[in-house]
Amino acid sequence: MKQVKGVMPLGVFVLALTIIFMMSPAPSNAEEAACIAGAKIDQSIASEATLEEFSCFFKKFEGAEVVHFKVAVKNVSDKPQRFRVHIFLENGKAVGGLIPRKTKKGLVEPGATGSFVYPVNGMTEKPQEVMLNVKTVMP
């Protein structure tokens, strides 16, 4: 096999990128817990769902370290569902969306869990009050 001088082989390049990606800091459970520790949290969850995870962490979004909320919802009904998530904060900011975001691959099946991460643009401090609403929507 002919070796090219001055050019990094593709395999070494891919390995280097993989190592760099794996070393990038992911939020730890302690960081996620600290983000909403002490915050007043009000929840309104649809009877067709159970809240499997509600956490937050700081991550870069559009050039700034901002709060990201992770919401995981389990479908406890006997029919496929789609959920609408709203997160309201004390400073007037709000985020939300649909789980699943698109229905091309189907809805959240009975017994299955769907999740999504919602960044809050401009929110660089821990929230003091959070209101979480999860409702079902017609597919």
Question: What would the pLDDT profile of 39-66 be if each residue is shown by its tens digit?
Answer: 899 999 999 999 999 999 999 998 889 9
Q: Taking a C-beta distance cutoff of 8 angstroms, is the pair 99, 108 a contact?
A: yes
Three-state secondary-structure class, residue 127: coil
Residue-range domain boundaries for the chain: 27-137
Instruction: Give the Cα separation of 90 and 107 in Å (integer).
Output: 31
- Mean pLDDT, residues 55-82: 94
CATH level 3 topology of 27-137 = Immunoglobulin-like (2.60.40)
pLDDT of 9 reads 59
The pTM assigned to this predicted structure is 0.74
Instruction: Give the Cα separation of 55 and 71 in Å (integer).
Output: 7
Instruction: Give the Cα separation of 98 and 134 in Å (integer).
Output: 9
Q: Taking a C-beta distance cutoff of 8 angstroms, is the pair 112, 74 a contact?
A: yes
36 band by pLDDT with thresholds 50, 70 and 90: confident
